[in-house]
Structure 1
Amino acid sequence: MRHPSVLWFLLALSAFTLGVTFLSDAFGIGLLSTSFVKTLGKTLCLCLVAIAMDVVWGYCGILSLGHFAFFGIGGYAIGMWLMYARTERIVEASLAEAPLPPTEQEVIDAIGVQIFGVVGSSEFPALWAFADSLALQLLMVALVPGLLALVFGWLAFRSRVTGVYLSILTQAMTLALSLYLFQNDSGLRGNNGLSGLQNIPGFEAVPQSVISIVFLWASALALGLGYVLFAWVVSGKMGSVIRAIRDDEARVRFLGYHVESYKLFVFTLTAIVAGIAGALYYPQAGIINPAEIAPIASIYLAVWVAIGGRGRLYGAVIGAAFVSLLSSWFTGGGAPDIPLGFYTIQWTDWWLVLLGVSFVVVTLFFPKGIGGLFDHLVRKDP
């Protein structure tokens, strides 16, 4: 009751999810294609990682240019199991026709050839030690981003690195990770990445239209829970301390608060949530490669939050959804070309320019972003 915007957001999210289900091919009247339902499901995942970015930047004042790396790590973690389990089924079906039953090692070797043959290898790297276990890989979705953020944050915050220097460090971390993953000997198939993730093992007979709705609901549930979680984090005494750190870190430290602990908590928690968002996103996208973790992706994430309205949870959602769907429309050929006689504007080439100009305009003239237009609807933002 203290934060009615949370309730309004959950009601709007529920109505949106039910509406898409009703209009889908799987359970509705078929007005929305399966590909568009997947686009909407992926957009919900991007909204979740945008909320995480808003909490760490808009509320705590840490401009992290590496949070999309945690998003990608979550995608790689679940993608390893998806690819292993799917390949295992294919290999077992193929070897079942052999005159002699295959040994367990022969099955593993055949799976390795299928997965890593594209990079000239056939042996499983140590990274794939738990790829055959869904439970352990789901644990890795949260554990690996959380541990990476914990170690990085502890080293950075204890050294009291702040401002632009911290942003550069987070960007350097992201760049180092993406460059490592581009190597064929990284254990994750280099530039080829992990593909075929939309084929869920054990559900081969289920049409993609049904799977897309299942992931839409899972993404909506994760977004709703994430919104409630972060609304709690930024409320009450904890939220006041976090915002005070953003506004005047030295004064908060002088008052006796252990600033580093608060910053480390926020940085680690948002990294875990970003990993969960990535684990839901990439099975809908169908593929993940190192380009998804490049520093530019984290910069886009900051742009979404700025356009939506930094320091407002619903603003981050609005910004991510607005820019993501608009990007799909412009780059997917939905926006018509504009002939000028001497030159034809093709939006597939000019979309990024338009996005950059929009970011500059919002920063200069509308610092509260799109979400600022809704401030009059609620007395206090969560």
Structure 2
Amino acid sequence: MLIRKYPALLAALVLLALFTLAATLMSEAYGSGAIPTSMVKTLGKTLCLALAALAMDLVWGYAGILSLGHMAFFALGGYMIGMWLMYARTGEIVAATLANSPIPASAEEIRQGIAGQVFGVVGSTELPWTWAFAGSLPMQLLLVLAVPGVFAFLFGWLAFRSRVNGVYLSILTQAMTLALALWLFQNDSGFRGNNGLSGLQNIPGLTDQPQAVISVWFLWASAVALALGFVLATGLTRGKFGSVIRAIRDDESRVRFLGYSVETYKLTIFTLTVMICAIAGALYYPQAGIINPAELMPIASIYLAVWVAIGGRGRIYGAVAGAIVVSLLSSWFTGGRAPDLDLGFYRIQWIDWWQVLLGLGFVCVTLFAPRGLSSVFDLLAGMRRPDRHGRDLGPDLGALQEKEAQP
């Protein structure tokens, strides 16, 4: 069993469980109320971002594929579940309004009322074909995985079979993300254009439950998803599959000459991590309450790569720690909680300077601590890098060496 075989996995799961329990006991719904509902939502969203960082670490830190488009699939997962949330909640409101009419409303009248409420903001009264299954929760949950998964599979198949690698692949994923975002900004895209989807925090059928309770439920769901992500990532990276994708990262040509289907492995890990990001997004946006095309812009995926780099790529716990630390710091600095710094000749307002601070942190980690925050865990665990000699066989930290002879 993985948990017995790998103590680090057990430690991560225990820490996650303790974190979730502590947040629950200090919440307004089930505890002392020391943590407000807004903070509980922030913690839940942070766990979702940590799951996305875990996926990014698998595809970049282990497979060497620097994707600058994974947050686009994160947002697509949010759009898929957001369609059901908005459709079902609007349906409840329309049905309650029409219930007072002398003649009971038909299903078609309710559907037309929903279309007018949802798309009236973009000047339409018809539901587009993209909303064909919006009234079915099982179908929309399936689409959370299917739409990003199929999109990623087609994109990856075209890119990897053409052997697009390195910076060219990163630029291609970034261009794909930008094109998708610009399309969603259009009012005729079928997703309400710049308005996006709103009111997602109102869960259909649970309107009698306060947000304090719902926020804790989503915190639990996010924690379970992250725990399953830990287990899946550990299983993938510790077996043969993990050995092959690390070998592809270090020396793709040699792996191909050994007879492995490099494109198949890259396509598999790319598609799988995209689906993990989509699940994270489907849990994130009901807690955020709104999603719009700005969430798909390339800068979001760049931030994701920065989190992984700061945490330490090629280390699952490092990527997760990086996402959690940077996300919480970002909420603190940009939420107005950090006091301004008065230098006498200039007053630093962290709301404006947070991105500069994040950029400096990324540069410092890249130059002075390539292993990021994961190096701190190594020090605490008493782990030291082996004294290895010889020419690197790969460009990444941890790549095999030509020889390991004593000096």
What corresponds to 2:43 in structure 1?
Answer: 40
What corresponds to 2:361 in structure 1?
Answer: 358
Q: Which amino acid aligns with 1:226?
A: G
CA contact (8 A) 1:25 1:33 kept: yes
Q: Which amino acid aligns with 2:296?
A: I
What corresponds to 2:400 in structure 1?
Answer: none
Report the CA distance between 1:150 and its aligned residue: 0.5
What corresponds to 1:178 in structure 2?
Answer: 181
- State the alpha-carbon separation in 2 of the partners of residues 343 and 379 from structure 1: 44
What corresponds to 1:55 in structure 2?
Answer: 58
Bigger-Rg structure (1/2): 2
User: Which digits, 9 at most, give the CA deviation of each residue in 1:66-119, with x for residues without a partner?
Assistant: 000110000000000000000000000001111222222211111101000111
Larger relative contact order (Cα-Cα within 8 Å, sequence gap ≥ 6): 1
Unaligned runs of 5+ in 2: 386-407
What corresponds to 1:319 in structure 2?
Answer: 322
Report the CA distance between 1:223 and its aligned residue: 0.2
Q: Which amino acid aligns with 2:213?
A: V
User: After alignment, is 372-381 or 154-163 more displaced?
Assistant: 372-381
Report the CA distance between 1:237 and its aligned residue: 1.4
- State the alpha-carbon separation in 2 of the partners of residues 63 and 234 from structure 1: 17
Q: Which amino acid aligns with 2:13?
A: L
1:342 aligns with 2:350: no
User: Which digits, 9 at most, give the CA deviation of each residue in 1:158-213, with x for residues without a partner?
Assistant: 00000000000100110000000000111100110000000000000001010001
Q: Which amino acid aligns with 1:94?
A: T
What corresponds to 2:295 in structure 1?
Answer: 292
Q: Which amino acid aligns with 1:18?
A: L
Equivalent positions of 1:167-246 (< 5 A) are 167-246=170-249
- State the alpha-carbon separation in 2 of the partners of residues 378 and 177 from structure 1: 46
1:253 aligns with 2:256: yes
CA contact (8 A) 1:75 1:279 kept: yes
What corresponds to 2:82 in structure 1?
Answer: 79
Report the CA distance between 1:341 and its aligned residue: 2.4
CA contact (8 A) 1:65 1:170 kept: yes
User: After alignment, is 145-154 or 367-376 more displaced?
Assistant: 367-376
CA RMSD of aligned residues (A): 1.2
What corresponds to 2:286 in structure 1?
Answer: 283
CA contact (8 A) 1:3 1:380 kept: no
User: After alignment, is 96-105 or 310-319 more displaced?
Assistant: 96-105
Report the CA distance between 1:2 and its aligned residue: 3.6
Report the CA distance between 1:296 and its aligned residue: 0.2
Report the CA distance between 1:264 and its aligned residue: 0.5
Q: Which amino acid aligns with 1:248?
A: D
What corresponds to 1:103 in structure 2?
Answer: 106
Partner-residue secondary structure (3-state), 1:201:
coil
CA contact (8 A) 1:65 1:167 kept: yes
TM-score normalised to structure 2 length: 0.92
User: Which digits, 9 at most, give the CA deviation of each residue in 1:296-348, with x for residues without a partner?
Assistant: 00000000000000000000111000000000000000101112222211111
Partner-residue secondary structure (3-state), 1:341:
coil
Report the CA distance between 1:378 and its aligned residue: 7.5
Figure out how many residues of one structure are paired with residues of the other and give that number.
381
What corresponds to 1:264 in structure 2?
Answer: 267
Deviating 4+ runs (over 4 angstroms): 378-381
Unaligned runs of 5+ in 1: none
What corresponds to 1:328 in structure 2?
Answer: 331
- State the alpha-carbon separation in 1 of the partners of residues 235 and 173 from structure 2: 26
